[in-house]
């Protein structure tokens, strides 16, 4: 039994607590898991890194001095086997390179990248532009789903998740807001077309978009980490920049600002605005429910506040 203990970041702690006994057992066993992985992969582990809500992420180094990142996922929340599949399909294009995967410990050892795009404190429009540049690299055509969830399956899953959590959380917003999300999810499910689907990250936000080593902070080459992994239309990935930066949307005419953001995403990527808008709305509602469930209530109600203002669009 390892005596090593890890102080997990608050979002990870909250997520683990939401899983009850399973989450508590994972936290208690992290020291032993990391000790094992250090021996197996001949690495030395360093400091815990912030970011994310479903895994312990720590600095690591090989015996030859090569830097890496060790990630140990929370069972029942983070499926690192699926992440490993995405990294394998991408083979370094738009994504971090994968060095090792241990399914028994739900762990990955991967390329260490630089600072997240979010840390550059750029205006939102510039962050969106860099996200879209990185997505253009990462949207890899696939001949088949390759074991990934399809866009149709994702839309259906989101609809079921939204109504379940809305009821479980004692209906934290009007039913009309939920009904609009369900309607949009149904349309995106029906719109799924394998011939126009690509490898989708699924959670391409500014904290998951990291600077490639050797780049300066004002340069734009980045790679993604922490993929969910989908086989879907490109608009599915653009849901995340539509969902994020809620405070900016609430600070003015929310409908106008959201429409302008949607238009910008469409111009940068060539993707239809209707699909971007619908995926973004559904993603906003589902993420709001997650935030409320794990106790991040301020963020959850802020996001729902945007959705309620956009409900009639």
Which residues neighbour 87 within 8 Å (Cβ) at sequence distance 6 or greater? Answer: 95, 96, 97, 98, 108, 110, 227
pLDDT value of residue 78:
83
Structure tokens given for 299: 């963020």
Q: What is the pLDDT of residue 219?
A: 60
Q: Does residue 214 come out as left (phi exceeding 0), alpha (psi in the -120 to 50 range) or beta? A: left
pLDDT of residue 64: 93
Q: What is the pLDDT of residue 216?
A: 60
pTM for the whole thing? Answer: 0.88
Model confidence pLDDT, tens digit, residues 197-226: 999 999 999 999 999 987 665 567 899 999
Sign of CA dihedral 297, 298, 299, 302: positive
Q: What is the pLDDT of residues 32-46, one digit of tens each?
A: 999 999 999 999 999
Which domains does the chain carry?
10-111 (3.30.200.20), 117-310 (3.90.1200.10)
Closest CA to 128 of 303, 276, 282, 304: 276
Enumerate residue ranges in the chain where pLDDT < 70.
1-3, 215-219, 313
């Amino acid at each position: 039994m390892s005596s090593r203990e890890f102080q997990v970041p608050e979002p990870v702690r909250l997520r683990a607590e939401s899983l009850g006994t399973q989450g508590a057992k994972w936290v208690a066993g992290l020291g032993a898991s990391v000790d094992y992985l250090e021996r197996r992969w001949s690495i030395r582990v360093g400091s815990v890194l912030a970011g994310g809500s479903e895994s312990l992420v720590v600095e690591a180094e090989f015996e030859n001095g090569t830097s890496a990142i060790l990630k140990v996922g929370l069972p029942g929340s983070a499926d690192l086997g699926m992440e490993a599949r995405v990294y394998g399909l991408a083979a370094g294009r738009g994504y971090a390179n994968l060095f090792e995967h241990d399914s028994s410990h739900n762990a990955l050892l991967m390329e260490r990248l630089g600072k997240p795009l979010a840390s550059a404190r750029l205006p939102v429009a510039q962050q969106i532009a860099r996200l879209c540049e990185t997505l253009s690299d990462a949207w890899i055509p696939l001949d088949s789903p390759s074991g990934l969830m399809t866009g149709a399956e994702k839309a259906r899953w989101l609809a079921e998740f939204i109504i379940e959590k809305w009821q479980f959380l004692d209906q934290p917003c009007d039913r009309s807001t939920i009904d609009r999300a369900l309607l949009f999810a149904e349309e995106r499910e029906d719109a799924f077309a394998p011939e126009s689907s690509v490898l989708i990250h699924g959670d391409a936000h500014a904290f998951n978009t990291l600077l490639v080593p050797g780049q300066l902070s004002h340069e734009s080459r980045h790679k993604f980490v922490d993929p969910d992994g989908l086989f879907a239309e490109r608009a599915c990935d653009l849901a995340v920049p539509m969902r994020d930066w809620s405070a900016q949307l609430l600070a003015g005419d929310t409908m106008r600002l959201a429409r302008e953001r949607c238009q910008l995403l469409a111009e940068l990527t060539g993707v239809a605005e209707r699909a971007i808008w619908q995926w973004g709305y559904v993603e906003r509602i589902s993420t709001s429910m997650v935030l409320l469930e794990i106790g991040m209530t301020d963020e959850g109600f802020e996001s729902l506040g945007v959705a309620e203002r956009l409900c009639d669009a």
